[in-house]
Amino acid sequence: MQRFENAREAARTLRPDEPVYCFRPEVLKADARQFMESFPGKTAYAVKTNGEQIVLRALVEAGVTAFDVASPGEFAAVRAVSLDAEMLYMHPVKAQSDIRLALEKYGIRVIAVDHEDEIVKLTRVVRALDIDPGSITVFVRIQTKGHAAYELSKKFGAGPANAVELAERLQRTGYKVGLCFHVGSQIEDPDTYERALASADWVRNRLSFELAGLDVGGGFPAEYGHDPNRKQVEMPSLGQIMSRLSGDLKEYGFDRMPLVAEPGRVVVARCLSLIVRVLLRKGRRLYINDGIWASLSDSWTGKITLPARFIPDPAIRSRNGSEKNIVPFKVCGATCDSVDILSRPFWLPETVDTGDWIEIGHIGAYSLSLRTRFNGFYPDTFVEVTTPFDEGDAPQGFASLETMAD
Ligand SMILES: *Cc1c(COP(=O)(O)O)cnc(C)c1O
């Protein structure tokens, strides 16, 4: 992989017409270590957030030993970078053949369920393979209510009374039993985990046995940009969320059992940025060579303002306006699809023009993993970059009201 100090150097050297991902392995390792140091339990990275081999390998190098996986493709991706990494199969609804593959070929011994039929499937495989159920930890996924940019709690999870029944049934069959939840992604309210812990507490207090563990899922927010035309939502920092969560875990007495977290977004968001080229400027619209069907679908569904940095093409000799004047541009994606328009503008100097580049920051989560080949566009070019996105020149997309007043 070619290496550059920053995206500007990469863009000016390569003059790329296709999108280029700028990977920062040291940023990834630092963010992974920071999470592991601040969470009082095991960190199982959620592979669906970004399952690229370069990412998984760097995480193993950073000391991540456990991975949250959901499919045969993810089992194989983790095995390819580590022969002994532990895998937690936390998808509550699984194909029976996938359960068999997980237990038989990949030696997976941690699994999640939220319905009695999933227990039936699991037990059928366990009996067929003659595995001792006592060697398997089954986490019962409980429903949670909360607010996150992406609400996932509506899709999965057993109601509290049902969770008690499922847990008792699993225990009678001989499994070790834990509880898990997943509050959604990019949570905005630090009370979210507490509400989920209160549900877990309700379930635990009705059980006839000791739990083998608690898995608090993912949802930890990453840092993005802010659209100055909208009311700023106060985002809690990871430090604030962690000290609150650790305190709540203690208060509910969950700190005395094995704990697991499944962070995705917060670990990988900062490690990638993306260089895109302005294919055409039409008034206050920019047509770029990426879009919602490639790297930018997550920001579209989550209505996230991505931080963006202007990389002017030095070959453009005359420009209109002032580079100091930061204005919003509507951003249109590469495909012919008319919905391929970002839900939030990019804030950039008014001088941006056809042929310039834009570096989009903090795009490591749910970008590469959600790419499609729609319309024949599939960004897949990588370079390594050493300077973190948040260092160097201020990204214009972080524009606040203060800088707007300029
Ligand atoms: C997607 C997912 C995660 C990761 O969520 P983030 O918000 O990216 O941290 C963790 N656990 C489960 C079960 C998931 O589905």
- Give yes or no for residue 219 CB within 6 A of ligand 1: yes
Domain count, the chain: 2
Of 48, 50, 67, best ligand 1 pocket probe by most atoms within 8 Å of the beta carbon: 48
How close is the Cα of 152 to the center of ligand 1, in Å?
9
- Three-state secondary structure readout of 62-95: CCCCEEEECCHHHHHHHHHHCCCCEEEECCCCCC
The DSSP result for 200-254, as a single string, is: HHHHHTT-SS--SEEE----PPPP----TTSPPP-PPPHHHHHHHHHHHHHHTTG
**Are 231 and 249 in contact, with CB atoms under 8 Å apart?**
no
- Is position 340 within any domain? yes
Distance from the Cα of residue 3 to its chain's centroid: 25
Residues 215 and 342 in one domain: no
Cβ of residue 263 lying under 6 Å from some atom of ligand 1: yes
CA-based nearest residue to 391, from 49, 22, 54, 57:
22
Evaluate: CB of 68 within 6 angstroms of ligand 1.
Answer: yes
Ligand 1 midpoint to CA 131 (Å) = 29
CB within 8 Å of 260: residues ≥ 6 apart: 41, 42, 43, 44, 66, 88, 180, 213, 214, 215, 216
What's the 353 CA to ligand 1 centre distance in angstroms?
38
Residue-number span of the structural domain to which 104 is assigned: 40-262
In a domain, 293, yes or no: yes
Instruction: Based on the fold, state whether residues 238 and 287 are members of the same structural domain.
Output: no
**Listed range (74-88, 220-234, 252-266, 359-373) with the worst mean pLDDT:** 220-234
Measured in residues, the chain has a length of 406
The fraction of the chain above a pLDDT of 70, given in percent, is 96
Q: In the prediction, which pLDDT does 393 show? A: 78
Q: Give Dmax over CA atoms of the chain in angstroms.
A: 76
Span 84-100, average pLDDT: 98
Q: What is the pLDDT of residues 258-275, one digit of tens each?
A: 999 999 999 999 999 999
- Ligand 1 touching residue 48 (CB < 6 A): yes
Instruction: Using DSSP, state whether 176 is helix, strand or coil.
Output: strand
CA-nearest residue for atom 5, ligand 1, is 218
- Atom of ligand 1 at shortest distance to CA of 365? 8
pTM of the model: 0.94
Q: What is the pLDDT of residues 188-232, one digit of tens each?
A: 888 899 999 999 999 999 999 999 999 999 999 998 887 778 877
Question: Distance (Å, rounded) from C-alpha 221 to C-alpha 31?
Answer: 13
Phi-psi region of 13 (alpha: psi -120 to 50; beta: other; left: phi over 0): alpha
User: Does residue 149 belong to any structural domain of this protein?
Assistant: yes
Same domain, 311 and 381: yes
* CATH code of the domain in which 372 resides: 2.40.37.10
Q: Give the chain's mean pLDDT.
A: 93
Give the Cα separation of 342 and 364 in Å (integer).
Answer: 17
Give the residue from 262, 289, 323 where a domain finishes: 262
Q: How far, in Å, is the centroid of ligand 1 from the Cα of 400?
A: 30
CA of 119 to the centre of ligand 1 (A): 22
- Are residues 212 and 235 located together in one domain of the fold? yes
- What token pair was written down for 2? 């070619």
pLDDT of 145 reads 73
30 domain residue, yes or no: no
Which CATH number is 87's domain given?
A: 3.20.20.10
pLDDT for 233 beyond 70:
yes
Same domain membership, residue 318 and residue 222: no
User: Does residue 260 come out as left (phi exceeding 0), alpha (psi in the -120 to 50 range) or beta?
Assistant: beta
295, 183: one domain: no
**Residue 312 domain-assigned (yes or no):** yes
> How far, in Å, from the CA of 157 to the mean position of ligand 1?
14
What atom of ligand 1 comes closest to residue 49's alpha carbon? 8
- 71 vs 79: CA distance, rounded Å: 13
Angle between helices 25-38 and 238-251 (to 10 degrees): 30
